[in-house]
Amino acid sequence: MKIKQNIKIAVDAIVFGYQENQLFVLLIKQKYGDLKNQWALPGGFVKDDEPLKKAVVRELKEETGVKVTTMEQLYTFGDDLKRDPRLRVISVAYFGTVNPKELKLNAGTDAEEAKWFPLENIPKLAFDHKKIIQKAFERLKAKLNYQPIGFDLLDSKFPFSDLENLYTTILQKPIDRRNFRKKILSFDFIAETDEYRKVGSGRPGKLYVFKNKRYNDLLKQGISFEIKFA
Averaged confidence pLDDT in the chain: 91
CA 217 to chain centroid: 23
31 lies in some domain: yes
- Residues 147-184 have pLDDT tens digits of 777 778 999 999 999 999 999 999 999 999 999 999 89
CA distance linking residue 82 with residue 128, whole number of Å:
10
**Domain closes at, from 117, 143, 169:** 143
CA distance linking residue 205 with residue 192, whole number of Å:
11
| Contact yes or no for 69/165 (Cβ under 8 A) | no
Which one has a higher pLDDT value, 9 or 201?
9
Structural domain total, the chain: 2
CA distance linking residue 120 with residue 118, whole number of Å:
5
Indicate which residues carry an active-site annotation. 113
CATH number of the domain enclosing 68: 3.90.79.10
Same domain, 27 and 115: yes
- Residues 25-50 have pLDDT tens digits of 999 999 998 889 999 999 999 999 99
Q: What are the distances in angstroms from CA 200 to CA 140, 161, 162, 208? A: 28, 11, 11, 17
Same domain, 164 and 136: no
The b-or-e profile of 107-134 (16+ CB within 10 A means b, else e) is beebbeebebbebeebeebbbbbeebbe
Same domain, 179 and 70: no
Range of the domain at 169: 157-221
The pLDDT, as a whole number, for residue 195 is 93
Q: Tell me the average pLDDT across 210-229.
A: 82
CA distance linking residue 125 with residue 132, whole number of Å:
11
Q: Tell me the average pLDDT across 181-200.
A: 89
The pLDDT, as a whole number, for residue 152 is 84
